[in-house]
Structure 1
Amino acid sequence: MADTGDTLEDILDAAARGQFPPADGGTTVVAQPSPRDAGVIAFTAHSVVFTDEDPHWVRATLAAVDCDALAASMHPRFLGALLERTGRATDTIDLLTVAGPLPGDPPLELREVSDPDHPRVRRALRRRDDVRVWAADGGVLVLGRGVAGRWETAIEVDEGVRHRGLGRDLARAARHLVPGGAPVWSQQAAGNARSIRAFQAAGFRPVGSEALLAPRVSPAPPARSAYAG
């Protein structure tokens, strides 16, 4: 049940083109794009809650949060109430970034990983469809379809090869590998300044913050580096 004619895919497609919801302090509630994905995206002065819960409950719960209305959708009290109501789990509130595709080959040599038991493949399949994984010397690049079918990328860089620009090159490589001329999205934890710098150096621009609520599953294998996305 939703209170707008737009879908989350519509909203994200517009944001990738630089067209955002009105900065009016409001909240838009839309249906989940899939049973897997629910959550909140906060754009500038406008939030989008994507859930199959009753929009009236969402709005009443937001109104009950004792804080500035602009911050209510990402307030721990609202997110906690949404988690409790849905029985879901979440990790961090991430910076949501996007970049357009680039022509030609990636700027570094990559080897595609086809092993379905590779830890990064198993981890990615919990959040994305059509997952492909490439390895470089000292790093890993993941590309797959995530929330609302958007193409998402994540990277990892080994500790021993940090500060050499590999994170930036892997993030930029995703822009060469995304199919069909589509934009590519990525999330970085707000405290992971190293990852944020790498993605912005690769041309990804911030569009908002995002909290994803996923069905509860057993813990994922630990990431091997500071660049996980």
Structure 2
Amino acid sequence: METLRDIVDAAARGVFPPADGGTTVVPQHSPRDAGVLSFTAHSVVFTDEDPRWVYETLAAVECDGLAASMNPRFLAAFMERTGRTTETVDAMLVGTPLPGEPPLALTEVEDAGHPRAVYARRRRDEVRVWTARGGVLVVGRGVAGRLEVSVEVDGDVRHRGLGRSLVTAARHLVGEPLWAQVAPGNARSMRAFQAAGYRPVGAEALLSARPRSAGCSDSRS
């Protein structure tokens, strides 16, 4: 049986589910994460709920089948069924590793109590944090154990290309595909990731078991 990690790894290689208007339901990779991945004309729902409930609920949504899994009515039913919350529907982007040293000086933060490390560990495992002058870079394992990146840029140094440099640097620090989730309305962040060579591959709605008050999405640069 194909797993969520199989699907994610294939997408990183440019191999996607068939564009047949269908939905694939697979088990969660971990108790922490459930949700929906949307590719071209195909969706993947990852949940430990009965797949029959997913298909019956999707059929009840009065919506084009190509968009039903991201329809607010389905997502609301999914949250009610699982007792989870969600924040935004993010664009998914992926970048391949790059050889050589990062293009800017980075200092890894070993202090596990660093604010960015504390925040990132709520949604990722094996979190590592680097700082650069005016910015922070975080890498950890998120959905399906894939490597995910997020960055934070100080307000007084924005609009100078630091976000792009940080997400480019991240590709030099890893040996496997690196994923990013970016709110589509965050045009600056989308431009930074795309300029750094990350490719848009789909959309994602992540359902989290943690309380909404724990914080909002870190899909920005």
Q: Say yes or no: TM over 0.5.
A: yes
Give yes or no for contact 2:181–2:219 (8 Å, CA) kept in 1. Answer: no
SS of structure 1 residue aligned to 2:138 = strand
182, 201, 217: which is aligned to 2:211?
217
Work out the CA distance in 1 between the residues paired with 2:133 and 2:71: 40
The number of equivalent residue pairs is 221
Structure 1 equivalent of residue 112 of structure 2: 116
Structure 2 equivalent of residue 137 of structure 1: 133
SS of structure 2 residue aligned to 1:92 = strand
Q: What's the CA shift for 1:220?
A: 3.3
Give yes or no for contact 1:112–1:134 (8 Å, CA) kept in 2. Answer: yes
Q: What's the CA shift for 1:228?
A: 3.0
Structure 2 equivalent of residue 154 of structure 1: 150
Work out the CA distance in 2 between the residues paired with 1:71 and 1:222: 25
Work out the CA distance in 1 between the residues paired with 2:45 and 2:22: 11
SS of structure 1 residue aligned to 2:163 = helix
Runs of at least 4 residues of structure 1 off by over 2 A? 216-223, 226-229
Give yes or no for contact 2:124–2:141 (8 Å, CA) kept in 1. Answer: yes
Work out the CA distance in 1 between the residues paired with 2:109 and 2:67: 41
Alignment gaps of 5+ in structure 2: none
Deviations 1:139-178 (CA, angstroms, capped at 9, x unpaired): 1100011111101000111111111110000001110111
61, 64, 69: which is aligned to 1:65?
61
SS of structure 2 residue aligned to 1:35 = coil
Normalised to the residue count of structure 2, the TM-score between the two structures is 0.96
Query: Structure 1 residue 32 and structure 2 residue 25: aligned?
Result: no
- Please tell me the root mean square deviation across aligned C-alpha atoms, in Å: 1.5
Work out the CA distance in 1 between the residues paired with 2:153 and 2:165: 11
Q: What's the CA shift for 1:117?
A: 1.9
SS of structure 2 residue aligned to 1:219 = helix
Alignment gaps of 5+ in structure 1: none
Amino acid across the alignment from 1:217: P
Amino acid across the alignment from 1:159: G
